[in-house]
């Protein structure tokens, strides 16, 4: 577990060989952080289960610690910890053994090396900002002693410390240069602006995300959380966190035909209740045993689409058109097909009693002609011939 102070940039590397639970995280916090620095004012963390649990919230609430969870799919919210993680990984990658079973022994030296060199943001080392002096790594020692193993160990520590300090400096400079190359000045969004939201990290309801919309919206910005994060006014059907980074937002392009946008249709009085008009049905599903339809409302944009129970959708013509175009989608009733796959049977003159081939060489009376249906769900065409197929069915299925 990596803990970084936002002010002095001091880092603590706490070894733990598995993902800790909320209770174990609280114990590690008391052992590694509280005994050295006391209670912090606030904690910024990712959205791991140990930090979103009720236990951790209650634990921090009792200690008057404010919890700030990072923005979803935007690790830059807690960017300094992410950078320290990358620096630590590079250090361990250089000095750990092939079996990678000694990484816990390398953490104390890595922590001392990181906290003893000057930070780019503060121009001072974390040790100096916390204690007012630079702790001595290795004092003036006698080059050689009577114990060769001790000399070898101290020489190894000195070499590793110097190399680690140099490696950390190179890694930080490289990460900063790489990050600044792809960054640009964010758009000046203000509360009240309408923006489009990227679907990069969203789960869409359409069958293929590749052919789905790249942006959805527009949505209104309610307020600015920080210089690069905004809260949007999402519909209640969007069960996602409403705070997004500026990189996921896009300004609504200007209307090429001003004054030609269709106004929103007001609700229509049906019986004693007001109902909105349905433009079309887009999809259907069974949600917790209830049939629902994805409704596109007339006069409203795609951001207002919503799943409505079948009992609340009073648009029989739209329902028929949807199921006619998509017969395989869930519906409230199942169409019962005829035994002969919906073929047509036409009456013929009574004197035609010969047999003709049918279905791969099988024989049926020539007085009946079977063909493909001309419309979905069509049955027997003439009511006068409904009884005769029942008499020939045993002969049709003799093979």
268-325 classified as CATH 3.90.180.10? no
* Residues in contact with 316: Cβ distance below 8 Å, sequence separation at least 6, in sequence order: none
In the chain, where does DSSP find H-type helix? 22-29, 35-37, 49-52, 54-62, 79-95, 103-116, 126-131, 148-181, 316-325, 388-396
CA 243 from centre of chain: 13
Q: pLDDT at residue 368 above 70?
A: no
Q: How much is the pLDDT for 334?
A: 53
Model's pTM, two decimal places? 0.40
Residue 202 pLDDT more than 90?
Answer: no
* In the chain, where the domains are located: 2-181, 194-251, 268-325, 344-396
Asked if residue 370 lies in contact with residue 381, where contact means CB atoms within 8 angstroms, the answer is no
- Per-residue pLDDT averaged across 183-190, rounded? 81
Judge contact between 39 and 64, C-beta under 8 A.
yes
What whole-number percentage of the chain has pLDDT above 90? 7
* Residue 90, burial from CB neighbour count under 10 angstroms (0-12, 13-18, 19+): middle
Average pLDDT rounded to a whole number, residues 303-308: 82
In angstroms, the Cα distances linking 150 to 107, 108, 164, 260 are 20, 18, 21, 84
Q: Which of 212-226, 235-249, 280-294, 371-385 has the lowest mean pLDDT?
A: 371-385
**Cβ–Cβ < 8 Å for 200, 248:** yes
Average pLDDT, the chain: 76
Q: pLDDT over 70 for what percent of the chain?
A: 74
Q: At what angle do helices 148-181 and 79-95 cross, to 10 degrees?
A: 140
Q: Is residue 45 pLDDT above 90, yes or no?
A: no
What tens digit of pLDDT does each residue of 143-175 get?
A: 555 677 777 777 776 776 677 677 777 777 787
From CA 168, how far away is CA 149, in angstroms rounded?
28
Mean pLDDT value across residues 105-119: 85
- Tens digit of each residue's pLDDT (9 = 90 or more) over 306-333: 888 998 888 889 999 999 998 888 887 6
- Outline where DSSP puts E strands in the chain: 2-4, 11-13, 42-45, 66-69, 194-198, 215-226, 229-232, 243-245, 249-251, 268-270, 273-275, 278-287, 290-297, 306-309, 344-346, 355-358, 362-365, 369-371
Closest CA to 128 of 140, 139, 138, 119: 119
Whole-angstrom Cα distance, residue 350 to residue 368?
10
Output the 3-class SS for 146-180: CCHHHHHHHHHHHHHHHHHHHHHHHHHHHHHHHHH
Residue predicted with more confidence, 99 or 145: 99
H helices, E strands: number in the chain: 10, 18
* pLDDT number for residue 139: 56
Q: Could you tell me the CA-to-CA distances from 220 to 112, 180, 217, 296, 325 in Å, in that order?
A: 47, 29, 9, 20, 35
From the candidate CATH numbers 2.30.30.100, 3.30.420.10, 3.10.20.30, 3.40.50.410, the one assigned to the domain spanning 2-181: 3.30.420.10
Computed on alpha carbons and rounded to an integer, the radius of gyration of the chain in Å comes to: 36
Mean pLDDT to the nearest integer, 263-292: 79
């Amino acid at each position: 577990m990596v803990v970084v102070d936002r002010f002095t940039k001091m880092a603590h590397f706490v070894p733990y060989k598995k993902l800790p639970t909320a209770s174990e995280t609280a114990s590690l916090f008391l052992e590694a952080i509280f005994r050295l620095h006391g209670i912090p004012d606030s904690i910024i963390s990712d959205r791991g289960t140990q930090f979103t649990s009720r236990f951790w919230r209650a634990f921090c609430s009792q200690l008057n610690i404010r919890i700030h969870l990072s923005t979803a799919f935007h690790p830059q919210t807690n960017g300094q910890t992410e950078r320290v993680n990358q620096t630590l990984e590079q250090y361990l990658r250089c000095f750990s053994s092939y079996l990678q079973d000694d990484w816990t022994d390398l953490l104390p030296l890595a922590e001392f090396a990181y906290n003893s060199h000057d930070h780019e943001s503060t121009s001072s080392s974390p040790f100096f900002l916390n204690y007012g002096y630079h702790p001595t790594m290795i004092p003036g020692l006698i080059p050689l002693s009577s114990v060769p193993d001790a000399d070898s160990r101290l020489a190894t520590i000195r070499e590793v410390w110097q190399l680690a300090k140099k490696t950390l400096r190179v890694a930080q400079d490289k990460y900063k240069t790489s990050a600044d190359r792809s960054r640009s000045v964010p758009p000046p969004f203000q509360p009240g602006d309408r923006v489009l939201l990227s679907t990069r990290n969203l789960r869409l309801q359409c069958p293929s995300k590749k052919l789905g919309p790249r942006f959805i919206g527009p949505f209104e910005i309610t307020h600015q959380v920080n210089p690069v994060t905004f809260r949007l006014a999402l519909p209640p059907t969007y069960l996602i966190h409403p705070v997004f980074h500026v990189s996921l937002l896009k300004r609504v392009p200007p209307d090429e035909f001003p004054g030609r946008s269709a106004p929103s249709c007001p609700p229509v009085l049906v019986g004693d209740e007001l109902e909105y008009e349905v433009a079309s049905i887009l999809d259907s599903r069974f949600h917790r045993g209830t049939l629902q339809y994805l409704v596109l409302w007339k006069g409203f944009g795609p951001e207002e689409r919503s799943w409505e129970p079948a009992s609340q959708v009073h648009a029989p013509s739209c329902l028929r058109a949807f199921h006619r175009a998509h017969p395989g989608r869930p519906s409230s009733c199942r169409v019962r097909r005829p035994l002969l796959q919906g073929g047509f049977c036409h009456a013929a003159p009574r004197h035609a009693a010969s047999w003709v081939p049918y279905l791969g060489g099988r024989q049926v009376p020539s007085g009946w002609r079977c063909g493909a249906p001309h419309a979905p769900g069509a049955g027997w065409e003439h009511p006068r011939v409904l009884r005769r197929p029942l008499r020939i069915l045993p002969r049709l299925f003799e093979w």
